[in-house]
Amino acid sequence: MPSLSLRGLSDETYEGLRELARRNHRSMQEQVRALIEREVGLGHVDALERARQWRSHFAQRTFPHLQADLQADRRR
């Protein structure tokens, strides 16, 4: 399996990556791998196709009517 070594990350980037990995309950290596795989995967799909994928992803979901909820909350 190929490997990759990164040099020259700023301290801020390194700490941000470490925090991101902690929040996702991953090692830093797992987090970096997930980020790279996601970005490479997204790079193969053009913007229009990506929009279609998101539309189909959310097609079956229902979303609340926020305006009605806000108005009801204000009447309380």
Residues 6 or more apart in contact with residue 20 via CB below 8 angstroms:
31
DSSP state of 23: H
Read off the amino acid at residue 75.
Answer: R
CB 17 within 8 A of CB 31: yes
pTM above 0.75, yes or no: no
pLDDT tens digits in sequence order for the chain, 76 residues long: 888 898 999 999 999 999 999 999 999 999 999 999 888 877 676 778 888 888 898 888 877 788 888 888 899 8
Instruction: Quote the tokens at residue 45.
Output: 């799909």
Instruction: Quote the tokens at residue 73.
Output: 């909350």
State residue 69's pLDDT score.
Answer: 85
Please tell me the distance from the alpha carbon of residue 37 to that of residue 70, in angstroms, as a whole number. 40
- Token pair 């997930």 in the structure block, residue: 34
State residue 67's pLDDT score.
Answer: 85
